[in-house]
Amino acid sequence: MKLGDVRRIHSALAHTLLNVWPICPLAQQVVQSELEGWSLRSRDTADKYLRLIIGRLRSGGVEQSVSDVLGGVQNELQSIDGYLNSMFDMTVARVRDCYQSWADWTVPTVRLEVSAARNPIYPDHASFGELGAVACVPPRKGTDPAVVKLTFVPSLLGPPSWASVPYLLCHELVCHANQAAPMDSEDPFAEGWMDLVAKRLHDHWIEEIFPWAPALARDAANRLYYLIEQRWPRMPEPHMTTRAARKVGRVAATWVEKKLQPFQDVQEPVPALVRLSLQLNRASPTFAGRVAFIGKVNNAGISDHELQAKLLAELRRWLEGHSSADNILSFE
């Protein structure tokens, strides 16, 4: 049985269980055990493995509401790639529309590549069915298409992992696919500031992107959003460094978001922070410039009152249409 077959079967199972997962704690434990044990049955055919895992869940004493829906896994298996493509296409369309409306969109095409990995990717301890998906956008040149690489870890691929896919897609497409600066995992603007923006847009779009269980998708995104800024002693690199950068960037974005809120036009469907951030992501061409900008914003918010006054004045001019993202980036 190929790893890709396991990924599709576990995805179909996760999709089938979306609406019963939060209320079935026994099934959560049984499903996690089955997910982790797939490698013991790697010589089975995909059909045999699917029948076996459904049978083991039914005989495992899971809640009746879970047993009632297991018959639908086979049908979902036929549709699972379509669901994934639907999430991707809708997210691409929403992100592209936002950039075209408020900044510019320079990406000729965006492709999705899906793969599976045997080993966990996050260093964190996973709760049942979590941390089974991760995504990235590799650097591209010129008019090359942007590629979103979505990787699943079958041993962790439960409903929360499946429901976190929209947040992963939003992050990669909002933060990276159209960014002006070179890719760098230690970029506090792309990984932190823009991640907050991606999360705001995710929460706004989730009913459309993940109509099957939007509440679970919001919960999965909230948990992952919180987790990927957590650090602890002896955390392995690069996570220790990249998570520090992410936190610093989010702090800066949160401060600016708060300062912009009193001036938000209630008739404007796109918040001021989102509009500004899309422009900043296109205007900032260097990693060093982004690091410097985040540092100045945080200094302005914490201790430098003169710098704060200059930033607030520039933001006000931007809101009035008298300044640009370039001027905000270079405020001092």
Report the pLDDT value the prediction gives residue 332, as an integer from 0 to 100.
Answer: 87
Per-residue pLDDT tens for 276-318?
999 999 998 899 999 999 999 999 999 899 999 999 999 999 9
- Domain total in the chain: 2
Of the three residues 26, 45, 77, the one that is the final residue of a domain is: 77
> What's the rounded mean pLDDT across residues 244-251?
98
Report the pLDDT value the prediction gives residue 143, as an integer from 0 to 100.
Answer: 82
Same domain, 181 and 309: yes
How large a percentage of the chain has pLDDT more than 90? 91
Per-residue pLDDT tens for 22-35?
999 999 999 999 99
Same domain, 176 and 150: yes
Report the pLDDT value the prediction gives residue 303, as an integer from 0 to 100.
Answer: 87
Same domain, 72 and 102: no
Report the pLDDT value the prediction gives residue 264, as an integer from 0 to 100.
Answer: 77
User: How far is residue 90's CA from residue 217's CA, in Å, rounded to a whole number?
Assistant: 15
Of the three residues 77, 105, 139, the one that is the final residue of a domain is: 77
- Is residue 43 predicted with pLDDT exceeding 90? no
Residues 6+ apart with CB under 8 A from 10: 35, 38, 132, 152, 154, 157, 158
**Biggest CA-to-CA distance, the chain:** 69
Same domain, 237 and 169: yes
Same domain, 68 and 139: no
Same domain, 246 and 218: yes
Report the pLDDT value the prediction gives residue 186, as an integer from 0 to 100.
Answer: 97
Same domain, 132 and 71: no
Same domain, 184 and 102: yes
Q: Residue 163 in contact with residue 217, Cβ under 8 Å?
A: yes
> What's the rounded mean pLDDT across residues 116-131?
96
What domain range is 164 assigned to? 80-329
Same domain, 102 and 66: no
226 CB burial (10 A radius; 0-12, 13-18, 19+)? exposed
Same domain, 183 and 39: no
Report the pLDDT value the prediction gives residue 265, as an integer from 0 to 100.
Answer: 76
User: How far is residue 224's CA from residue 219's CA, in Å, rounded to a whole number?
Assistant: 9
Same domain, 39 and 156: no
Backbone region of residue 131 per phi and psi (left: phi > 0; alpha: psi in -120 to 50; beta: other values): left
Distance of alpha carbon 172 from the chain centroid: 7
Of the three residues 20, 51, 77, the one that is the final residue of a domain is: 77
pLDDT band at residue 56 using 50, 70 and 90 as cut-offs: very high
Question: What letters, b where the CB count within 10 A reaches 16 and e where it falls short, cover 4-18?
Answer: ebbbbbbbbbbbbbb
Report the pLDDT value the prediction gives residue 151, as an integer from 0 to 100.
Answer: 98
Same domain, 87 and 160: yes
Question: Which pTM was predicted?
Answer: 0.96
Amino acid letter for position 26: L
Q: Which of 200, 198, 176 is nearest to 282 (CA)?
A: 176
